[in-house]
């Protein structure tokens, strides 16, 4: 119990001190793979390069690296505005959330996964891999 309270105090103290927590970038892998909503996933078919532990880089407008990391596992989310019956597999996109420390706004930045082409990150923090 003491450890939990101490952890909460330290966490809140870090936030109050104005630490830069960065932004969350949602990577939308539009692979259309049949999955149940909420299932863990990685990119399928031609998007197999977008898998957990694959390296990625966030670049600024000039192409300079501002952050480097590895992709996490994703979660299957609805890809189409179609009402499928509950529990059925359906065409999905695999969504991975990247926590990019030190980045205040995603505007003008690009995501590069492995040796793929750079893809622009939208102002809402989403990047579509399609």
Rounded CA gap, 110 and 5, in Å? 39
Q: Which has the closest alpha carbon to 38: 100, 110, 80, 95?
A: 95
Q: Is residue 14 part of a domain?
A: no
Pull the structure tokens for residue 96.
């991975």
DSSP state of 50: S
Q: Is residue 49 part of a domain?
A: yes
The pLDDT of residue 19: 59
The pLDDT of residue 88: 84
Number of domains in the chain: 1
Q: pLDDT tens digits for 47-90?
A: 999 999 999 999 999 999 999 999 999 999 999 988 887 778 99
Q: pLDDT tens digits for 18-52?
A: 556 899 999 999 999 999 999 999 999 999 999 99
The pLDDT of residue 21: 82
Q: Is residue 8 part of a domain?
A: no
pLDDT classification of 10: cutoffs 50, 70, 90? very low
The pLDDT of residue 95: 98
Q: Is residue 6 part of a domain?
A: no
Contacts of 127 (CB under 8 A, 6+ apart): 25, 26, 27, 28, 111, 119, 120, 121
DSSP state of 63: S
Query: Roughly how many angstroms between the first and final C-alpha of the chain, as a whole number?
Result: 47
Q: Is residue 44 part of a domain?
A: yes
The pLDDT of residue 96: 98
Q: Is residue 63 part of a domain?
A: yes
Strand partners for 93: 77
pLDDT classification of 2: cutoffs 50, 70, 90? very low
State which residues form the domain around 72: 21-129
Q: Is residue 15 part of a domain?
A: no
Q: Is residue 16 part of a domain?
A: no
């Amino acid at each position: 119990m003491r450890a939990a309270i101490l952890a909460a105090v330290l966490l809140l103290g870090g936030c109050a001190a104005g630490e830069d927590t960065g932004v969350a970038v949602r990577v939308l892998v539009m692979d259309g793979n049949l999955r149940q909503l909420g299932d863990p996933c990685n990119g399928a078919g031609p998007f197999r390069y977008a898998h957990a532990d694959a390296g990625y880089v966030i670049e600024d407008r000039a192409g300079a690296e501002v952050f480097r990391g590895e992709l996490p596992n994703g979660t299957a989310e609805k890809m189409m505005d179609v009402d499928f019956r509950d529990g059925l597999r359906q065409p999905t996109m695999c969504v991975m959330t990247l926590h990019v420390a030190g980045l205040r706004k995603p505007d003008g930045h690009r995501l590069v996964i492995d040796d793929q082409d750079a893809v622009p990150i939208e102002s809402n923090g989403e990047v579509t891999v399609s």
